[in-house]
Chain A
Amino acid sequence: MSDEAISKESFAVLLDRAGLTVPEAEAEELRAAYFYVKEMAARVRTPRGREAEPAHIFALPHPEV
C-alpha cells in the first residue's frame, strides 16, 4: 500500500479543479506536501456540536437597547 498522501491521479484532479497549471516537477512537490493539507484539515476537526460557531460570525452595529 502506498505511503503517499494522495495519488498522482487524484492530485491531478485537484489541480485541474483548481485551474492551476504547474510544471510536472513542481506538481510532484505540491503533491508531496499534500500530507500537510490532510494533517491540518484533520486537526481542525475536533469533536464539536452542530451549534459551534466559526470565528468570522459578526454582529452588525445596532442602537443600544
Chain B
Amino acid sequence: MQPNETPLTIAEAAKLIETRRLSPVELMEDCLRRIELLDGRYNAFICVLKDAALAGARVAEAEIAAGNYRGPMHGIPIGLKDIYETAGIATTGHSKLTADHVPDADATTAAMLTAAGAINVGKLATWEFAIGGPSFDLPWPPARNPWDANMCPGGSSSGTGTAVATGMILGGMGSDTGGSIRFPAARCGIAGIKPTYGRISRAGVMPLAFSLDHAGPMAWNSEDCAIMMQALAGYDPRDPASAKVAVPDYRAALTGDVKGLRIGVLRSFYETESPADDDVVASMEQSIRVLRELGAEVTELPAIPPMRDYLAACTVISRSEAYAIHEATLKATPELYGKFARERMMMGAFFTAADYVQALRRRRELVAAFAGAMTEFDLAILPTIPAAAPEIESGSTHSMLERPIYTQAFNLTGSPAISVCNGFSAAGLPFGLQMVGKPFDEATVLRAGDAFERATAHRSMRPELALVAA
C-alpha cells in the first residue's frame, strides 16, 4: 500500500467485506500502515490502539466468516475524538489536566459503533476540551491540514478531519458546539454532519456547552455519514436531551433525486454581514448552479436576524456553560490548560447571570425566526467557511469572533447541518457547502449532500500526502 493510493470509503469497504473479497484484517493493516507512514507529519492521533485494533479486526473476520455479518459498519476502522470516553483507555481531552483520565465506561456512541461491528483504531487529536486550538502548548501537537501540512485543519474535531481525509480511518466521531464537525470537514475536504440536537447521544462525551453540544460522524462523503448515522441515531436515557424520535433508513433516503427540493440560499451571512473570500463565493455560485441543474428549486431564503445575533447568543451561552463546567479547575490549576482554552473559557466568567438569561430569551426568538424562514423550504444553504485554511501557527485567541465561520447559528437552532466539499482555492485548499435542514430531517440533508457530491468531481480529489521522513 502506498499512502497516496486512494483509500476506500465505508460503503466501498462494506461491500467488499460483506462479499468476503476484503478481510477486515487486511483493511485494518492498511489503515495502520497509513498511520505509520503519515501520522508523524499530520498528528491526527493522540494514541493508536494497534494491538486492540488488529485483534478487533480478527474477531470481525471470524464473525463474518461464520455468517454473522452485522451490517455496513462491521470491520470498518474508525476513530474517536479524544473527548469520547472509552473504557480502560485514556480520554485526555487533549489536555494536561486530564492526561491520565481513564474512564470506566464507553460513551454511548462508542458502544453503539462497537455493537455495529466498527473497530476503534485510536483516540484522535482535538482542540483542548473542544475549544482550545490549534494549540502548541499542550502535551500533544495539534493535527495538521491534510492538503497542506503547514495549514490549519479547522477544529475542534481536527484529528478526525485529518485522519479521515488521509485514509488513516474510514470514518470518525466529532462533536460540534459552534461548528466543530462542519468546520474541520470543510477545511479537510470531507463530509461531516451535525445532526439535530438530541438525535445522537451526548452521554460519555466530555461536555463543552450542554445546550449546544452535538455528537456526529465525519467521513469521506455523505453516504458514509448516512451509514454511520444509522449506527448512531436513537434515544438514549443517559442523555437528558436525547430525543424519542423514530430513526429512518438514512441510506435508503439517498435516492440521488433532489428534483423539486426547495432550497433557500442564506446570502446575507456570507455576502454582506461577514463577507466570504471571492473564491468561496464563486464556489457557492457554482454549487447553486449544480443544484438547479439537478432539479432543485433554489431561491433566496427569506430574511432572518443578523448572523452576529446568532453568534452573540451562541457565544454567551457556550462560554457561560463552558466556564461553569471548568470553573473549579480554571480557578485552582489554570496552568494545566493551554492558553487558548483557558482564555476562551475564562470569557465566560465575565458574562452575568442576566446576560445568560437574555441570551436564552434571544435564542427562543432566533430559533423561531429561522423556523419561520424555513416554512416554505426543505433546506437552507450557505458556505461553511469564509476562506481557505490559514497557516496553522496564525491562530489567535479570538479569531473565531474576529472573522466568524457560518456555523454557530445552527447550533443555536439545533438544526441538522452537513458540510460537503464544494471546491478548492487556487492553492488547492478545500471549501465546504453547508446544507441545513428542518429538525430531525437528516434524511433530506444527507440526500442533498449525496446528490451534490455525485454531480461534482470533488470526491475524486484526494490530498497529496507527505510521508514521515525516514
Verify B361–A39 contact, CB threshold 8 A: no
Q: A21 and B350: CB pair below 8 A?
A: no
Which residues of B206-235 have CB atoms within 8 Å of chain A's CB atoms?
211
Closest chain A residue, CB of each to CB of B414: A55
What chain A residues lie within 8 Å of B346 (beta carbons)?
18, 20, 22, 30
Complex contact B401–A46 (CB within 8 A): no
- In chain B, positions 303-343 with a C-beta closer than 8 Å to chain A are 308-309, 311-313, 315-316, 330-331, 334, 339, 342-343
- Which residues of chain A in 30-65 are interfacial with respect to chain B, using CB atoms and an 8 Å cutoff? 30, 33-34, 36-37, 39-41, 43-46, 48, 52-56
- A33 close to B364 (CB less than 8 A): no
Given contacts A33-B397, A43-B312, contact A54 B357 (CB under 8 A): yes
Mask of A1-28 contacts with B, CB within 8 angstroms, 1/0: 0000000000000100011111000100
Q: Which residues of B contact A41 (CB under 8 A)?
A: 316, 351-352, 355, 358
Per DSSP, chain B at the interface is helix
Note all chain B residues with C-beta closer than 8 A to A55: 211, 360-361, 363-364, 367
Q: A27–B312 Cα gap in the complex (Å)? A: 22
Establish whether residues B312 and A54, one from each chain, have CB atoms under 8 Å apart when the complex forms: no
Contacts of B342 in A (CB 8 A): 26
Chain B contact patch, size range: 20 to 34
Assess whether A26 is in contact with B309, with CB atoms less than 8 Å apart: no
- Smallest CB–CB gap between A18 and chain B, Å? 4
Partner of B363, one of A36, A39, A48, A54: A54
Are A29 and B397 in contact, CB atoms less than 8 angstroms apart?
Answer: yes
Known A20-B330, A20-B331, A20-B334; contact A30-B347, beta-carbon cutoff 8 A: yes
With contacts A19-B331, A26-B343, A54-B361 taken as known, whether A14 is within 8 angstroms of B397 at the C-beta atoms is no
- The answer to whether A22 touches B334 (Cβ under 8 A) is yes
The complex places the Cα of A61 from the Cα of B330 at a distance, in Å, of 37
Chain A residues positioned under 8 Å from B401 (CB to CB): 36
> For the complex, what is the distance from the CA of A52 to the CA of B359, rounded to whole Å?
12
* Complex A-B: 27 CB contacts under 8 Å: A18-B346, A18-B350, A19-B331, A20-B330, A20-B346, A21-B331, A21-B334, A22-B334, A26-B339, A30-B346, A36-B347, A40-B311, A40-B312, A40-B315, A40-B351, A41-B351, A43-B308, A43-B309, A44-B312, A44-B358, A44-B359, A44-B361, A46-B362, A53-B361, A55-B363, A56-B211, A56-B360
B residues contacting A by CB (< 8 A) are 211, 308-309, 311-313, 315-316, 330-331, 334, 339, 342-343, 346-347, 349-352, 355, 357-365, 367, 397-398, 401
The 3 A-B pairs at the shortest CB distance, nearest first, are namely A54-B360, A43-B312, A40-B312
Residues of A near any B CB (own CB < 8 A): 14, 18-22, 26, 29-30, 33-34, 36-37, 39-41, 43-46, 48, 52-56
